[in-house]
Amino acid sequence: MNAALLTLAALPGWSAVVDALLLKEHNTRVVVLGVTCLGLAAGVAGTFLLLRKRSLTADALAHATLPGVALGFIVMVLAGGSGKSMPGLLVGAFVFGLLGMGWLMAIRRTTRLKDDAALGIVLSVTFGLGMALVKIAETTPGGSAAGLDRFIVGRAASMLEAEAIWLPVAAVVVTLVALLLFKELKLLCFDGAYGATQGWPTGLLDALLMGLVLAVTVIGLQSVGMLLVVALLIVPAAAARFWTQRLGVMVVVAGVIGMVSGYLGAIASALFANAPTGPIIVLLCSVMFGVSLVFGARRGVVVRVARHVRLARRIGRQHLLRALYEMHEGTDGVGHVSRSRLMRARSWSAGQLRRLMVRLVREGLIRRAADGSAALTEQGRVAARRYVRNHRLWEMYLIEHADIAPSHVDRDADAIEHVLGDAMIERLEQLLAQRFPQMALPASPHPIDFVDARETRPADVR
């Protein structure tokens, strides 16, 4: 074991790395081409599977192939062969995968069991049957069952050229089917019920999608094994989800992630003698998923945090301008307001209020006095009046159509007014014109804490 660890930890030379990257060795070319194409097919098929919310279906289908592999071995041995013919083993796996898929769909359609229960039944029963048949295969006279375990964990490094050639074929077939039926599969994933009402054969499309997944699962048994092929189907698609909202782009990104993971995993397996190809590929997929989770352009943690910070700043900006305007609304928003009154108005801390003021002073929307009080500039008064108008339009809408009490409407309006679209603003303005034809700015439906009119106006400090 220590020797194996030392061998794994030994760094390859630069020339070995270059030779592996350039695919100079024939065996390396075979393995890299095979698993790269497998990654492409898995990424494309897995995208639709993920959006269909059938991710664990791949796990059930993968386990359903094990009894087919064992039974295919037994049949070939009884027929006088060695039992090691790869086409025969894969045909057995595909047949039992179809049976497992049919059983799963029958449970879903004829019973009231949930999907998780149906998946658990098919997965456990087929895997148990597969393990029993593997034990029988080991005792079958006339054949050696050694090597059947590679279909459980995968052994890509032992792939022959005749076996690897099926992986590019499968990648081309899966990609072509996805392109030809892109519109139909998109409808199935996002609104299958609507498609069924429009006369689309959603049951047939669902079976076709499961067939694509089964094909990827079967051809991936040799390289990554039935336990890890599920990760290759799901992880690239899940990683791609963090980068885009468009299905077409997501399919491409998932395929690229699967291809890159397969390529780098096969290269790493070629450079490190004891590094298993399948687990390395899955680990690289997981690394790419982690990178996507953090830095994804659409749903990544960094982007979401930045979006939340920008929203919080915009909300604070609008609230401060509204408070300054409403506290001196009788004078059209002109007048200084002390820092203590502003802090009480929105329960701001001293630090939060200071940062908001600094930002608005920099934008030229407010001016600050030496004692820390603030007043609106002419530009700030225009912006504040617009925010107050939108806020009260929304309050009026809630009172009119949502039966919100005037004493509580301010809180409800605060929760949603910052995301009002142009269409809603236009509708609210139409409602204002109908109810108050002569009123440009509706009155507040609840009391506002006005500043004492005797408050002095100190000298401004920029």
* Three-state DSSP class for residue 456: coil
Q: In the chain, how many domains are there?
A: 2
* Contact criterion met (CB below 8 Å) for 63 and 125: no
Q: For position 191, what pLDDT does the model report?
A: 85
**How many CB atoms lie under 10 A from the CB of residue 117?**
13
Tell me whether residue 291 is in a domain: no
370 shares a domain with 266: no
Q: Long-range contacts of range 316-320, CB-CB < 8 Å, 24 or more positions apart?
A: 316/352, 316/356, 317/356, 317/359, 317/360, 318/387, 318/418, 319/346, 319/414, 320/346, 320/353, 320/356, 320/357, 320/360, 320/366
322 shares a domain with 253: no
Phi-psi region of 103 (alpha: psi -120 to 50; beta: other; left: phi over 0): alpha
425 shares a domain with 394: yes
φ/ψ (deg, to 5) at 368: -110, 145
* Contact criterion met (CB below 8 Å) for 274 and 280: no
Tell me whether residue 299 is in a domain: no
Residue at which a domain ends, from 220, 252, 285: 285
The CA-atom distances, in angstroms, between 331 and each of 14, 328, 336, 338, 453 are: 77, 6, 11, 16, 10
Tell me whether residue 450 is in a domain: yes
pLDDT beyond 50 at 452: no
User: How confident is the prediction for the chain on average, in pLDDT?
Assistant: 80
The CA-atom distances, in angstroms, between 10 and each of 3, 20, 188 are: 11, 16, 49
381 shares a domain with 248: no
Mean pLDDT of 171-193: 88
- pLDDT confidence band for 421 (50 / 70 / 90): low
213 shares a domain with 74: yes
* Contact criterion met (CB below 8 Å) for 458 and 370: yes
pLDDT in tens, 260-317: 998 898 888 878 777 777 888 889 999 999 999 999 988 899 999 999 898 888 888 8
Tell me whether residue 8 is in a domain: no
Residue at which a domain ends, from 285, 315, 332: 285
Q: For position 91, what pLDDT does the model report?
A: 87
Nearest to residue 209, comparing CAs of 169, 181, 232?
A: 181
Mean pLDDT of 419-429: 68
| HSE value, Cβ hemisphere, 13 Å, CA-based, for 267 | 18
314 shares a domain with 258: no
Mean pLDDT of 13-30: 74
Q: For position 322, what pLDDT does the model report?
A: 85
* Contact criterion met (CB below 8 Å) for 321 and 383: yes
Tell me whether residue 297 is in a domain: no
Q: For position 156, what pLDDT does the model report?
A: 67
Tell me whether residue 387 is in a domain: yes
Sign, Cα dihedral of 260, 172, 162, 224: positive
Which of 195-204, 258-267, 384-393, 398-407 tops mean pLDDT?
258-267
Which of 233-237, 349-353, 416-420 tops mean pLDDT?
233-237
pLDDT beyond 80 at 18: no
319 shares a domain with 247: no
* Contact criterion met (CB below 8 Å) for 205 and 196: no
pLDDT beyond 70 at 180: yes
- Rounded to 10°, the helix 115-138/86-110 angle is 150
C-alpha 345: how far from chain center: 40
- pLDDT confidence band for 402 (50 / 70 / 90): low
Tell me whether residue 160 is in a domain: yes
Nearest to residue 163, comparing CAs of 267, 85, 70?
A: 85
pLDDT in tens, 94-139: 899 899 988 988 898 888 888 888 888 998 999 899 888 888 887 7
Largest CA distance in the chain: 107
Q: For position 254, what pLDDT does the model report?
A: 95
pLDDT beyond 80 at 48: yes
Residue with the larger pLDDT of the pair 79 and 364:
364
Q: For position 459, what pLDDT does the model report?
A: 43
pLDDT in tens, 345-395: 777 888 888 899 999 999 999 888 888 888 888 898 888 888 888 777 777
Q: For position 1, what pLDDT does the model report?
A: 46
Mean pLDDT of 136-144: 71
Mean pLDDT of 329-339: 70
353 shares a domain with 256: no
Q: Which of 4-8, 13-17, 458-462 has the lowest mean pLDDT?
A: 458-462
- pLDDT confidence band for 87 (50 / 70 / 90): confident
Mean pLDDT of 429-456: 57
56: domain CATH number is 1.10.3470.10
61 shares a domain with 119: yes
- pLDDT confidence band for 90 (50 / 70 / 90): confident
Q: What burial letters (b/e) apply to 166-187, b meaning 16+ CB within 10 Å?
A: bbbebbeebbebbeebeebbbb
Residue with the larger pLDDT of the pair 289 and 338:
289
pLDDT beyond 80 at 38: yes
323 shares a domain with 280: no
Mean pLDDT of 65-87: 81
The encoded tokens of residue 152 equal 């459980």
Separation of alpha carbons 436 and 391, rounded Å = 16
319 shares a domain with 244: no
The encoded tokens of residue 372 equal 């820390």
Q: For position 411, what pLDDT does the model report?
A: 60
182 shares a domain with 279: yes
Tell me whether residue 3 is in a domain: no
pLDDT beyond 70 at 209: yes
Domain containing 403 equals 306-461
C-alpha 15: how far from chain center: 39
* Three-state DSSP class for residue 206: helix
Q: For position 237, what pLDDT does the model report?
A: 94
Burial (Cβ within 10 Å: 0-12, 13-18, ≥19) of residue 75: middle
319: domain CATH number is 1.10.10.10
Q: Which of 6-10, 173-177, 436-440, 454-458 has the lowest mean pLDDT?
A: 454-458
Q: For position 456, what pLDDT does the model report?
A: 41
Residue at which a domain ends, from 285, 317, 336: 285
